[in-house]
Amino acid sequence: NIFQAALSGFRALLCRSGGSSCGIRRLLCTSSSGSGGSPATAYPVGATFVNRNPRSLEYSGHEPKPKGWELQQPSRNYYLKCILRRTGSGTIAQIVHNSGSVVVEASTDESAIRSQLYSPRDVSAARAVGEVLARRCIQCGIDRVHVDQLALPRTAERNDAFCQALLDGGVQLEERPELPRPERPGVDYDSLTAEQRAALFPRLVDELRTGEDKAKYVQYAPTMRPARHQERERRYQALAKVRRGWWWNYRHQRLLPSPNPNNPFARATSGGEKSG
């Protein structure tokens, strides 16, 4: 499936300006050549470049955030989220990725923090844990995290001290929105392989040759198809009967079954009703 293949291969696929599939940009912009030196010693540069860094697209906003969680609580519309948990024995703060893995952690379980605190669960503990977490975030290259307003309301003193410690440490408490995808019409058929093109956009001739009889699934154009449900049902029932051989009796204004079930479309030869 090309959709799944595109998703799994969506790791900063970059194309060189001047490449074959850039369309208008190829013609209207200046492209820089990558390989220099004498032709014999020139280092060949590929037309496409792949950056494997899984966090590069999140940093620039190209990576899509998880969608569909708007009606869930807690949602997952973020790259990295900050969690502050208070257990019976202490306070734990974590930075969690939307895939569920813990990236950075700071808690009062660490003896170096606990020995400098009076209580492992109070406001000072939350503030201390926030300061330590902020420093570790900057060390890990994280400067923006998402904070769930419902889980960490800043009306509580503990949460406010924690969030303020993060801000003072240089960590912003809201992430940038992801970049809007430019809506470009059209399909780049050149970038598809032959199998992908046959799967996605099959030719009508090939479909007619290889597919089953589509006559029974004929979809009528809207102008020919009755709009109202009852009218549509009535017409289709009548059509199905006519196909089975029922005939319209003009005198009685009814559809009657064919007299000969073996050969439904044969005309009645003996004297009787006229077939209409």
Partner 1 sequence: MYPQPTATQMRSSLIGLLRGLRPPAAQTRTPARTIFMMGPYDPRTPEDEEPGVKVRVKQEVPEEAKLSFRQRMAEWRARHHPEPPACNIGLPRSLLTASRSEPPDEKRQQELERLARNQQLRVDLDAVELAWESERRPEHALSAARHYSIMEHLFGTGCFFYPVVPLRAHFADPDLPGRVRPIALGNVMTPRQCSEAPDLRWQEPQDFNSSSSGQQQQLKWAVLLTCPDEHLQSAEREYAHWLVTDIPGSGRVAEGRVRLPYLQPIPPLGTGLHRYALVLFVQSAPLEDQQENQQLAGDRLAERDFSTAEFYRRHQDRLTPAGLCFFQAAWDPSVRTVYRHRLTDMGAEPVFEFRWPAPYRPKMQQFAFSEPFNLYLDKYRDTKDIAEETLKEKLKSVHPFLGRRRPESKYPLAVPAEGYQPSWLKEREAQKILRQGQWRDLD
Q: Determine if 88 is a binding residue for partner 1 (CB under 8 A).
A: no
Q: Whole-number minimum distance, CB 248 to partner 1, in Å?
A: 11
Q: Determine if 23 is a binding residue for partner 1 (CB under 8 A).
A: yes
Measured from the CB atom, is 255 or 268 closer to partner 1? 255
Query: Which of the residues 255 through 274 are near partner 1 (CB under 8 A)?
Result: none
Q: Whole-number minimum distance, CB 65 to partner 1, in Å?
A: 15
Distances (CA, A) of 255 to 150, 246, 272, 274: 67, 6, 15, 12
Query: Which of the residues 163 through 192 are near partner 1 (CB under 8 A)?
Result: 181-191
For 140, the token pair is: 């890990």
Stretch that binds partner 1, among 27-35, 81-89, 243-251, 264-272 (CB under 8 A): 27-35
User: What are the phi and psi torsion angles at 247 (to 5°)?
Assistant: -130, 155
Q: Whole-number minimum distance, CB 137 to partner 1, in Å?
A: 10
CA distance 236 to 76: 48
CA distance 161 to 123: 7
Number of residues forming the site for partner 1 (CB under 8 A): 94
Stretch that binds partner 1, among 49-57, 85-93, 242-250, 264-272 (CB under 8 A): 49-57
Stretch that binds partner 1, among 81-89, 200-208, 242-250, 256-264 (CB under 8 A): 200-208
DSSP-derived letter for residue 178 is: P
Binding residue (CB under 8 A) for partner 1 from 87, 116, 260, 263:
116
Q: Determine if 198 is a binding residue for partner 1 (CB under 8 A).
A: no
Q: Whole-number minimum distance, CB 232 to partner 1, in Å?
A: 14
Binding residue (CB under 8 A) for partner 1 from 65, 135, 154, 197:
135
Q: Give me the half-sphere count of Cα atoms (radius 13 Å) on the Cβ side of residue 39.
A: 0
Q: Determine if 66 is a binding residue for partner 1 (CB under 8 A).
A: no
Asked whether the beta carbons of 132 and 142 are under 8 A apart, the reply is no
Q: Determine if 92 is a binding residue for partner 1 (CB under 8 A).
A: no
The number of beta carbons lying within 10 Å of the beta carbon of residue 177 is 9
* DSSP per-residue codes, 32-77: -----S-TTTPPP--SEEE---TTHHHHHT-SPPP-S-TTSSS---
Q: Whole-number minimum distance, CB 174 to partner 1, in Å?
A: 19
Q: Determine if 132 is a binding residue for partner 1 (CB under 8 A).
A: yes
Q: Whole-number minimum distance, CB 260 to partner 1, in Å?
A: 26
Binding residue (CB under 8 A) for partner 1 from 59, 69, 246, 248:
59
| Length reported for the chain | 276
CA distance 13 to 89: 47
Measured from the CB atom, is 201 or 236 closer to partner 1? 201
User: What are the phi and psi torsion angles at 155 (to 5°)?
Assistant: -70, -30
Q: Determine if 221 is a binding residue for partner 1 (CB under 8 A).
A: yes
Asked whether the beta carbons of 104 and 137 are under 8 A apart, the reply is yes
Tell which phi-psi region holds residue 248, choosing left (phi > 0), alpha (psi between -120 and 50) or beta.
beta
Q: Determine if 115 is a binding residue for partner 1 (CB under 8 A).
A: yes
